Chain A
Amino acid sequence: MSLDKATVAKIAHLARIKTDDAQLDAMVGDLNTILGFVEQLSEVNTDNVEPLASVTGHGLPLRADVVTDGAYPERVLANAPDRAHGYYAVPKVVE
């Protein structure tokens, strides 16, 4: 599988990274090199192999249903680039 420029542009948009034409050209080359490298996995016979679910092998620990966190809006908003009236503020979204 080999990536073309349009595909890379699509991926860049999915990842929300603005990419100009020159950058796209460079990325196409790099990404194809990497994909070419990982391509060797197709040699490995993985019939009847279960994908690794976790390296630890143990199950999911559960926590008790108790309120132990929150109630500190100041800490939540402390690093916000833009905030207003206790909210994060972002460019207006039209639904």
Chain B
Amino acid sequence: MTAEKSNLVTGNTGDWEIVLGLEVHAQVTSNSKLFSGAATTFGSEPNSQVSLVDSAMPGMLPVINEECVRQAVRTGLGLNAAINRFSVFDRKNYFYADLPQGYQISQFKQPIVGEGVITVDLPGGRSKSIGIERLHLEQDAGKSIHDQSPTKSYIDLNRSGVALMEIVSRPDMRSAEEAAAYVKKLRSILRYLGTCDGNMQEGSMRADVNVSVRKPGDELGTRCEIKNMNSIRFMQQAIEYEARRQIEIIEDGGTIDQETRLFDANKGETRSMRSKEEAHDYRYFPDPDLLPLIFSEEFVEAEKAKLPELPDAKKARFIADFGLSPYDAAILVEEQETAAFYEKVADGRDPKLAANWMITELFGNLNKAGKDLSDSPVDEAKLGGLIDLITDNTISGRIAKDVFAEMFESGKDAPTIVEEKGLRQVTDTGAIEELIDSVMASQAEKVAEYRSGKDKLFGFFVGQVMKQSQGKANPAMVNELLKKKLAG
């Protein structure tokens, strides 16, 4: 594969290619933890969602949550991946304050999900396939709090044992933008499936980014892993900073140390993680408290049959059935709720008009107001009602923008606003002719110029007539009648 020119970074010694692979940890949507019956809700009192299993009391044993297994299988299917009918839980052994067992139950050699692929949407309607290497189930660790005491760290085990899916990509991304698009797409798929809420602020989804650089065509360079990115924007900044840092080191004759780094959002820098400095030897081995996880083909098939329409399929359908551009379709399918909203608006209406109104007016206004579709003052019926008024010529497209603004502000529906404000379009031939006559009478000189061949003045007359009608005259009728009258 040749490097895409547009992604290359220029250094002192020429162009560099950034190579990125992501390990995304996605919290499985479930009521209880992966191996215990404690709750998973966010933001509870410290150590209040902890069972004796999660706090690794002597003699406590794990019992797996069937819903977490099902969710992992659904996710694997959503990532077009192979579902491994036989998988094994392993212990990953290391000591850390928030790892009460002294090991994390994870999957190493035999994960639940094997290779898959997803298509990410890039600006300009381009797309790219990113390989998925594997998905495995594992336990989350607890949380260490370092800033509450000068001499101590505090440990909260509420997250300890919460189910995570670790989704490992191939090193297929070549820019921060592609990495961002990958995370967005993954998030979109997980949210469609209902297997992860994708809430990055709450840590339900976080990415470890493996960054390396190389001269185009060279072997892979030494990578650094930036841990725990929980914002797409910061992830992009971190990648750009880290790639620069690596290029500078190499260009100065240095070499990259393979290490774990942390992104400091305040400084916009990555730095080496002291606590992870020492080389780990995780001593993975199958967890003897658990047995191999085995499913039948029927189980996998049944889960497949229950999957919802996923973003790619929906996008393809929107392009095929509604004639949308790939770019518009991608925007509309990112969230399931948006796509459903759109389909309601488009039902029985011009789908392209519906898409335009959603993307430009509705999303524009929501963005400005800092609102989500879920708390939009304009619902499907209202936006549809507005589009109906445009289609049946009750109002013009220009007036419709004002109506939309009013609708967004007041929450009233479009017909009410049009009636109240008298914005109904003038389509009465006689009335329009009267307006034209009055404009022509007051602009006799311009009429003469037009008639002597100055065609360009036509636009001027249209403008004048529309102005006289306060924008309410039907523009098409104005055009047609004006042409006739000016022709004499």
Could you tell me the distance in whole angstroms from the C-beta of B252 to the nearest C-beta in chain A?
28
One of B38, B64, B150, B154 near A87 (C-beta < 8 A): B154
Q: How far is A75 from B262 in the complex, measured between Cα atoms in Å? A: 35
Asked whether A2 is an interface residue with its Cβ less than 8 Å from the other chain, the reply is no
For this complex, 13 residue pairs linking A to B, each with C-beta atoms less than 8 Å apart, are A62-B69, A65-B66, A65-B67, A67-B31, A69-B51, A70-B36, A70-B37, A71-B49, A84-B149, A85-B46, A86-B46, A91-B151, A94-B274
**Across-interface contacts of B39 in A (CB, < 8 A):** 67, 70-71
A95→B45 contact, CB < 8 A: no
A69→B37 contact, CB < 8 A: yes
Could you tell me the distance in whole angstroms from the C-beta of B270 to the nearest C-beta in chain A?
13
Could you tell me the distance in whole angstroms from the C-beta of B169 to the nearest C-beta in chain A?
25
Could you tell me the distance in whole angstroms from the C-beta of B372 to the nearest C-beta in chain A?
28
B52→A92 contact, CB < 8 A: no
Could you tell me the distance in whole angstroms from the C-beta of B141 to the nearest C-beta in chain A?
13
Asked whether A90 is an interface residue with its Cβ less than 8 Å from the other chain, the reply is yes
**Across-interface contacts of B67 in A (CB, < 8 A):** 64-65
Could you tell me the distance in whole angstroms from the C-beta of A37 to the nearest C-beta in chain B?
21
**Across-interface contacts of A82 in B (CB, < 8 A):** 152
Q: How far is A58 from B45 in the complex, measured between Cα atoms in Å? A: 39
Scan residues 52-68 of chain A and give those whose CB is less than 8 A from a CB of chain B.
53-54, 56, 58-68
B49→A93 contact, CB < 8 A: no
**Across-interface contacts of A64 in B (CB, < 8 A):** 65-67
Could you tell me the distance in whole angstroms from the C-beta of B383 to the nearest C-beta in chain A?
38
User: Would you give the 0/1 interface string for B363-391, flagging 1 where the beta carbon is closer than 8 Å to chain A?
Assistant: 00000000000000000000000000000
**Across-interface contacts of A73 in B (CB, < 8 A):** 45-48, 50
Binds A, one of B284-292, B322-330, B426-434: B284-292
A63→B46 contact, CB < 8 A: no
Q: How far is A54 from B293 in the complex, measured between Cα atoms in Å? A: 11
A93→B65 contact, CB < 8 A: no
B275→A92 contact, CB < 8 A: no
Given pairs A70-B37, A70-B49, A76-B157, 5 additional interface contacts (CB within 8 A): A62-B65, A86-B47, A86-B48, A88-B154, A94-B274
B291→A66 contact, CB < 8 A: no
**Across-interface contacts of A87 in B (CB, < 8 A):** 46-47, 145, 148, 154-156
Specify which of B67, B95, B146, B152 lies most central, judged by the most chain A CB atoms within 10 Å of its CB: B152
Q: Which residue of chain A lies nearest to B65 when distances are taken between CB atoms in the complex?
A: A65
**Across-interface contacts of A70 in B (CB, < 8 A):** 36-39, 48-51, 54
Q: How far is A39 from B357 in the complex, measured between Cα atoms in Å? A: 75
B292→A95 contact, CB < 8 A: no
A71→B66 contact, CB < 8 A: no
Q: How far is A93 from B148 in the complex, measured between Cα atoms in Å? A: 12
**Across-interface contacts of B157 in A (CB, < 8 A):** 76, 88
A59→B294 contact, CB < 8 A: yes
**Across-interface contacts of B148 in A (CB, < 8 A):** 85, 87
Could you tell me the distance in whole angstroms from the C-beta of A66 to the nearest C-beta in chain B?
6
Q: Closest 8 A-B residue pairs measured CB to CB? A: A70-B38, A68-B37, A65-B67, A87-B154, A69-B37, A62-B66, A69-B51, A88-B155
B47→A61 contact, CB < 8 A: no
Interface size on A, residues (CB 8 A): 36
Asked whether B250 is an interface residue with its Cβ less than 8 Å from the other chain, the reply is no
One of A60, A67, A71, A75 near B290 (C-beta < 8 A): A60
**Across-interface contacts of B63 in A (CB, < 8 A):** 61, 63
B64→A89 contact, CB < 8 A: no
B37→A60 contact, CB < 8 A: no
Q: How far is A69 from B55 in the complex, measured between Cα atoms in Å? A: 12
Q: How far is A70 from B179 in the complex, measured between Cα atoms in Å? A: 38
B31→A65 contact, CB < 8 A: yes
Asked whether B32 is an interface residue with its Cβ less than 8 Å from the other chain, the reply is yes
- Known A-B contacts A89-B152, A92-B146; the reply to A54 vs B291 at CB < 8 A is yes
Asked whether B88 is an interface residue with its Cβ less than 8 Å from the other chain, the reply is yes
Q: How far is A56 from B290 in the complex, measured between Cα atoms in Å? A: 11
- Known A-B contacts A76-B50, A92-B151; the reply to A59 vs B45 at CB < 8 A is no
Q: How far is A56 from B292 in the complex, measured between Cα atoms in Å? A: 11
Could you tell me the distance in whole angstroms from the C-beta of B160 to the nearest C-beta in chain A?
10
Asked whether A18 is an interface residue with its Cβ less than 8 Å from the other chain, the reply is no
Asked whether A77 is an interface residue with its Cβ less than 8 Å from the other chain, the reply is yes
Could you tell me the distance in whole angstroms from the C-beta of B92 to the nearest C-beta in chain A?
13
Q: How far is A93 from B142 in the complex, measured between Cα atoms in Å? A: 14
A54→B31 contact, CB < 8 A: no
**Across-interface contacts of B155 in A (CB, < 8 A):** 87-90
User: Would you give the 0/1 interface string for B33-62, flagging 1 where the beta carbon is closer than 8 Å to chain A?
Assistant: 000111100000111111111110000000
A63→B66 contact, CB < 8 A: yes
Could you tell me the distance in whole angstroms from the C-beta of A74 to the nearest C-beta in chain B?
9
Q: Which residue of chain B lies nearest to A94 when distances are taken between CB atoms in the complex?
A: B274
Q: Which residue of chain B lies nearest to A62 when distances are taken between CB atoms in the complex?
A: B66
Asked whether A49 is an interface residue with its Cβ less than 8 Å from the other chain, the reply is no
A66→B273 contact, CB < 8 A: no
Asked whether B30 is an interface residue with its Cβ less than 8 Å from the other chain, the reply is yes
Could you tell me the distance in whole angstroms from the C-beta of B424 to the nearest C-beta in chain A?
56
Asked whether B68 is an interface residue with its Cβ less than 8 Å from the other chain, the reply is yes
Q: How far is A95 from B277 in the complex, measured between Cα atoms in Å? A: 10
Q: Which residue of chain B lies nearest to A87 when distances are taken between CB atoms in the complex?
A: B154
Q: Which residue of chain B lies nearest to A74 when distances are taken between CB atoms in the complex?
A: B47
**Across-interface contacts of A94 in B (CB, < 8 A):** 146, 274-275
